[in-house]
Chains A and B, each alone.
Chain A
Amino acid sequence: MVGLDPLTEQPGNRMRVFLDFEKAVADLEGKIEVLRHLSTDGDINIVEEVGKLQSKVERQLKNTYQKLSPWQKVQVARHPNRPHFRDVVGNLVSEFTPLAGDRNFGEDKAIVGGIGRFRGFSAVIIGTEKGSSTQERIETNFGMAKPEGYRKARRLMELAERFRLPVLTFIDTAGAYPGIDAEERGQAEAIARSIETCLGLTVPIISTIIGEGGSGGAVALAAADRVLMLEHSIYSVISPEGCASILWRSGEHAKDAAEALRLTAQDLKKMDIIDEIIPEPLGAAHRSRDVALASLGDAVEKALRELVAIDANSLRSRRRDKFLAISKNGSS
């Protein structure tokens, strides 16, 4: 893909970012790093010490990650080293051929879409992309799509329908872009049509929230047969910050809002809003991206194999029934 900072492309060179609750882990890993520098000749004591520290790191990660608070999950979901859509494509899709433009106004890089081969299946693959380098973040508008992005997504879904290809969407966005130009060109209409198109498909559509599933900008691509979520991703009607500033009249209550909103994959599974939680490796997807992406691939493939066995018309009515069944009781 274009415009990437080559440095951030190399996992070895990626700047490691620790979240504040990962401080203990960061300290331990710092010590390990120092010891490794000391030991150039394989000093047996140092090797032993490093091994001890490493098991400490693992224990620490396990303790931290098995009881993350919703607000901590929000931080993990937004972690800059978390795999993005282009990592999903890079790891899981061969022959990926990006297709550009909404045929009306422009090309929105916040939503990347194209045709490619996923585990043997030709598929239309669409995702929101936040970007990793500064330049890329600007190009992708930090993953916040404008109407032309949703209109491109809609065009690609229609292409999938025409050629009987399944649609795979991957969502990682704070939300649709709130700006004058977006409003001017009908952001609301673009999102509404995208939802309508998802619901009208007679080919399978599988949506996975890989990071942030932010509001209407996320559901625009997630009115799907199956909605999957990575273990530490979030999906919400509004960002905790936005919710806090409206209901608590102060952004400082974001932590409280994160709890009240029930935006974690675990809560959403309990409410039957999503179909499956995809486990992440120890210390979350940003620590072992390839492992996370492999389980993501497995989960999507499993769902896809189930859905391609269902005939076109009942697929659509089942999808509709699934959304109609969502009620306050949570279960269908």
Chain B
Amino acid sequence: MNWITNSVLPKIKALVQPREVPDNFWTKCSNCDEMVFHRQLEQNFQVCSHCDHHMGMDPDARLAMLFDDGQCTKIELPKQTVVDPLKFRDRKRYSDRLKEAQAKTGADDAIMIAHGDLGGMPAVAAVFSFAFMGGSMGVAVGDALLRAAELAVAQKAALIVFPSSGGARMQEGILSLMQMPRTVIATQIVKEADLPYFVVLTNPTTGGVTASFAMLGDIHLAEPGAIIGFAGKRVIEETIREKLPEGFQRAEYLLEHGMVDMVVRRHDLRATLIRLLGLINKPRPTAEVVTMVQPGLEIPAVDKSSSDAGADQPSKT
């Protein structure tokens, strides 16, 4: 891919004004302002090849990069009988905002649930769509997470949630707030079945989403640079009337403050998840190895010069 980055791209950049670039070919990186070729972005998991900025990713692409061979089965979300429970209207009707978001994304709501294999191990993924009303959490999202939890239990699968959300969906009022306890219950359902519950925090994860299921994972992974926090930047600035420190609420900041286990580049995400799941799902040595290290058995003499790993190291088979 580098030939494009290094030779062709600067020339093209010099020729065209950024505004006139048809956006179906190029994307301007919001972090470094460089132009990135679309196909290149796709192949690089929507990560900027100039600055490693992790851009937003639509749920389909995320599912495709997650599961073995990109294969998974999406499940239908629970049907919502009432569309706009509060008949909420600000400058626009909530029902119109919903329709617009549905038309724009082709999805029913801000979350997608799928199941498939991850390194041969069963997994259920719940992926937020930030493009759908800022990934906000209302009843539909809460219901979907509960469905995902039940599916994980039914399939004895791990649940992996990828939040990307501004928080609760205000237009559903108190019902959106109630999704906090409801989604916490979803995490309890998975944990009570002794199944792994992982959270992959993606940009951005804030508000009621962070303050509920997203901070209750057995393991928290975060994408580089992702904003993760409770209160929004503007609210904090208005409250304390001072500028926020550099890197505030970024994934790396949360790592430093003990809130996430690791920051993982998108390229390494699948392999990391597979490794973790394997370590949890297969906690014992295979039968053959067990016989080798069984206590009391005569251990064959080891030639120290050819093995620095020690006598208790299982031999290769």
A contact residues vs B (CB 8 Å cutoff): 176-180, 182-189, 191-193, 195-196, 198-200, 215-216, 219-220, 223, 235-238, 242-243, 246-249, 253, 256-257, 260-263, 268, 271, 273, 320, 323-324, 326-330
Judged by a CB distance under 8 angstroms, whether B304 is at the interface is no
List the A side residues contacting B86 at CB < 8 Å. Answer: 260-262
A183 engages B236 (CB within 8 Å): yes
Contacts A178-B230, A235-B174 given; indicate if A184 touches B257 (C-beta within 8 A).
yes
Complex: chain A residue closest to B176, CB-CB:
A237
Interface-central residue, A191, A235, A256, by most chain B CB under 10 Å: A191
Known: A186-B258, A248-B91. 16 other contacts (CB 8 A): A180-B236, A188-B211, A189-B215, A193-B215, A195-B212, A216-B212, A216-B230, A223-B180, A247-B170, A253-B90, A261-B174, A263-B174, A273-B178, A326-B175, A328-B175, A329-B82
List the B side residues contacting A185 at CB < 8 Å. Answer: 257
B216 engages A192 (CB within 8 Å): yes
Whole-angstrom CA separation of A216 from B232 in the bound complex: 13
A223 engages B184 (CB within 8 Å): yes
Q: Pick 27 A–B contacts, CB within 8 A, sort by A.
A: A176-B230, A178-B230, A179-B236, A179-B239, A183-B229, A183-B248, A185-B257, A186-B259, A187-B230, A187-B231, A192-B180, A192-B211, A193-B215, A195-B184, A195-B212, A196-B184, A198-B181, A199-B181, A199-B184, A216-B211, A223-B180, A247-B91, A247-B170, A260-B173, A323-B181, A324-B146, A327-B81
A178 engages B175 (CB within 8 Å): no
CB distance from A200 to the nearest CB of B (A): 7
Interface-central residue, A192, A196, A219, by most chain B CB under 10 Å: A192
A271 engages B174 (CB within 8 Å): yes
CB distance from A158 to the nearest CB of B (A): 16
Interface-central residue, A189, A200, A220, by most chain B CB under 10 Å: A189
What is the interface residue range for chain B against chain A?
35 or more
Judged by a CB distance under 8 angstroms, whether B213 is at the interface is yes
Contacts A192-B215, A237-B170, A263-B174 given; indicate if A183 touches B230 (C-beta within 8 A).
yes
A323 engages B81 (CB within 8 Å): no
Judged by a CB distance under 8 angstroms, whether B207 is at the interface is yes
Whole-angstrom CA separation of A162 from B102 in the bound complex: 48
Complex: chain A residue closest to B189, CB-CB:
A320
Judged by a CB distance under 8 angstroms, whether B160 is at the interface is no
Judged by a CB distance under 8 angstroms, whether B41 is at the interface is no
List the B side residues contacting A235 at CB < 8 Å. Answer: 174
A326 engages B170 (CB within 8 Å): no
A219 engages B177 (CB within 8 Å): yes
A243 engages B170 (CB within 8 Å): yes
CB distance from A184 to the nearest CB of B (A): 6
Judged by a CB distance under 8 angstroms, whether B158 is at the interface is no
Q: Within B101-142, which residues are at the interface with A (CB < 8 Å)?
A: 139
Complex: chain B residue closest to A256, CB-CB:
B90
B216 engages A196 (CB within 8 Å): yes
Whole-angstrom CA separation of A185 from B215 in the bound complex: 13
B230 engages A326 (CB within 8 Å): no
List the A side residues contacting B28 at CB < 8 Å. Answer: none
Judged by a CB distance under 8 angstroms, whether B9 is at the interface is no
List the B side residues contacting A329 at CB < 8 Å. Answer: 81-82, 85
B181 engages A219 (CB within 8 Å): yes
Whole-angstrom CA separation of A196 from B259 in the bound complex: 17
List the B side residues contacting A327 at CB < 8 Å. Answer: 81-82, 139, 143
Whole-angstrom CA separation of A192 from B179 in the bound complex: 12
Judged by a CB distance under 8 angstroms, whether B245 is at the interface is yes
CB distance from B166 to the nearest CB of A (A): 9
List the A side residues contacting B231 at CB < 8 Å. Answer: 176, 178-179, 182-183, 187
List the B side residues contacting A193 at CB < 8 Å. Answer: 215-216
CB distance from A108 to the nearest CB of B (A): 15
Complex: chain A residue closest to B208, CB-CB:
A216
CB distance from A150 to the nearest CB of B (A): 10
Q: Within B173-214, which residues are at the interface with A (CB < 8 Å)?
A: 173-178, 180-182, 184-185, 187-188, 207-208, 210-214
Whole-angstrom CA separation of A323 from B171 in the bound complex: 19
Whole-angstrom CA separation of A236 from B85 in the bound complex: 15
List the B side residues contacting A195 at CB < 8 Å. Answer: 180-181, 184, 211-212
A260 engages B90 (CB within 8 Å): yes
